[in-house]
Structure 1
Amino acid sequence: MPVKCCFYRSPPAEAMAWSESMDTLLANQAGLDAFRTFLKSEFSEENVEFWLACEDFKKTETAEKIASKARMIYTEFIVADAPKEINIDFSTRDIISRNIAEPTVRCFDEAQKLVYSLMAKDSFPRFLKSEIYRKLVNSQQVGTHKKWLPFL
């Protein structure tokens, strides 16, 4: 099922810069929004959502909040049959499962690296060839970045 979207365009030069690296793309809100819309069209948005949840989790300061956020991430992305289960190997999943009782801000690092690698090697190159990205780069409309508004 294709994702239909309506969006205000970023300047083509800004969109072209996203092709430099996935880090550049993820650091730019418009790029992140475009990539997320692309991943939704491929039914794999859980990858970027997990990566973003991990980035936020690493900024958590109190032990109480670390435990709470870790359980949320575990329940949403890691546990078998999770609503947004990510594709990671058994060994990584097992280590997280054993460590979730006493989580640290680094408890999802290995899984986050695996998901990042999957996106960088698989989804990101397809995104750069996608119609969504091509339309942004080929846009003749120049203006300030507004907001990407996906509609399903």
Structure 2
Amino acid sequence: MSYRGDVGGDFSEDAPRPPVPGEEGREGGLFSGKTASHWSESLPATKRRTDADLGFEPEGSVSPGGPCEPWAETLLALLDDRDGTALFLHFLRTLGCSALLEFWFACSGFRKVPEDAKERRLKLAKAMYRCYLCDGVVSRRITAETRCGVRDGIRQLRLDSSLFAQAHAQVQAVLQDGLFPLFLRSDLYLKHTQTVEQLPGSRLPGYQTTPSQGEELEKETHPPHNAANQKRAGDQEC
């Protein structure tokens, strides 16, 4: 069996994107062109409050005496928790940059595809490149060198687990250093902690849980037929 490595020929702008982890068939999760500087400036709900109001230290770390979810201690702890991931994804959607988290999980899923399943790896790698790295918020948060490295790796059929490693790390840094602290200072997280404190075991309305990271990585990724690669209303270019 032979595999095609022609990236440019197969990555058409009209092709559908891969599904969001745990959200096959759901609308949303496409690209936004907002830059990191715009995310904090465009949301009055996430502006800085006093430490007493928020229950957080100035650096964005959780105060020992304040309300806190166990998964709020680190980004990776959050991403390993079903409810934490769902709330963080909901927050990112309000900023128009949920594609960053989608791509992070897609990279994790790619590593779980057996290396001898070359056809599956090629199909998934092409879909990820087309839908996240050709244009949109993810492509603007990684270096040109990294993006070109992924493209060349697909063309040359170098589909090992390191193909998206640099892009994965760079997107994780954006989430860790910028968006995760912003999330911990947001009204959404504050409201969540207050709700949990008052009603243990409760969940905020308006967002849905997603599969845990371990569950998602075992799933096959297929582009949905009903979700064309179009930007959502409200998404903006940089």
Q: TM-score range by the shorter chain?
A: 0.7 to 0.9
Q: Give CA deviations for 1:110-145 in whole Å, capped at 9, x if unaligned.
A: 000000011000000000001111111112111266
Q: Work out whether 1:98 is the aligned partner of 2:156.
A: no
Alpha-carbon contact 1:47-1:86 (below 8 Å) kept? no
What amino acid sits opposite 2:104 in the alignment?
W
| 2:199 alignment counterpart | 141
Cα distance, 1:87 vs. partner? 1.8
Point out the structure with max Rg over C-alpha.
2
| 2:82 alignment counterpart | 29
- After superposition, the Cα gap between the structure-2 partners of 1:148 and 1:60, relative to the gap in structure 1 and judged at 3 Å, is farther
Q: Which runs of 5+ in 1 are unaligned?
A: 3-12
What amino acid sits opposite 2:90 in the alignment?
T
Report which structure shows greater RCO (CA 8 Å, sep ≥6).
1
Q: Distance in 2 between matches of 1:111 and 1:121?
A: 15
TM superposition score normalised by structure 1: 0.81
Number of residue-to-residue matches in the alignment? 139
| 2:93 alignment counterpart | 40
| 2:73 alignment counterpart | 20
The structure in which a higher percent of residues are helix is: 1
Runs of at least 4 residues off by over 2 Å? 81-86, 143-150
Q: Give CA deviations for 1:53-77 in whole Å, capped at 9, x if unaligned.
A: 0111111011111111111111111
What amino acid sits opposite 2:76 in the alignment?
D
Q: Distance in 2 between matches of 1:74 and 1:55?
A: 14
- After superposition, the Cα gap between the structure-2 partners of 1:84 and 1:91, relative to the gap in structure 1 and judged at 3 Å, is closer
Q: Which runs of 5+ in 2 are unaligned?
A: 1-41, 44-65, 209-238
Percent identical across equivalent pairs?
Answer: 25
TM superposition score normalised by structure 2: 0.53
| 1:6 alignment counterpart | none
